[in-house]
Amino acid sequence: MNDPHGQAPYLESALHKDPKYLAHEPGEPRIWSKLNYQHKEVRDYHFTIIRELIEDYDFDGLELDWKRSAVCIPPPASQEQIDMMTAWFVKIHELTQAKAIKTGRPFYFGMHVPSEYKKLRNIGIDIKAMVEAGLIDFLCPTNFMQTAWDTPYDRIR
């Protein structure tokens, strides 16, 4: 959802070229191209891509990958920012439900997250609240870079 590799112009939007939209700390060199989701323009940009994937292609579902590059809103996210991101995920959930109605079959919506998924709340993504609200159908907590190999899947379940 926020590939930071940068230096690949074909993967970057106009937003990547405006420092206002980047999720960098002051003085941090622009090596990575992380977008800051607290800006409506960033959320709209990603939503447009997601809507195209859902509406124009024949997939069985959508998985948002917040595992590898868990960058969304610079931490610590406020409750207002968490609510803003949750409302954005509600819009995506509505797209998946509309696709299910249109095709007459389920269209699943889930997330690929670090094993320590509760820490995502610090960047504006409240997985627990979204699960409790029925916004996501599956969660794929796995290890990559920033998490431990001893993932407690039974406890997460």
For 116-138, how does the pLDDT look when each residue is reduced to its tens digit (9 = 90+)? 888 899 999 999 999 999 999 99
As a whole number of angstroms, the distance between CA 157 and CA 36 comes to: 30
Segment 15-27 shows an average pLDDT of 75
Question: What does the pLDDT look like over 25-54, one tens digit per residue?
Answer: 556 655 556 889 999 999 999 999 999 999
Residue 23 DSSP one-character state: -
CA–CA distance, 114 with 143 (Å, rounded to integer): 6
Q: Which tokens sit at 122?
A: 């610090």
Using CA atoms, how far apart are residues 38 and 17, in angstroms rounded to an integer? 17
Give long-range contacts, CB 8 A cutoff, 24+ apart: 81-85: 81/38, 81/124, 82/121, 82/124, 82/125, 82/126, 82/129, 84/38, 84/124, 85/37, 85/124, 85/125, 85/126
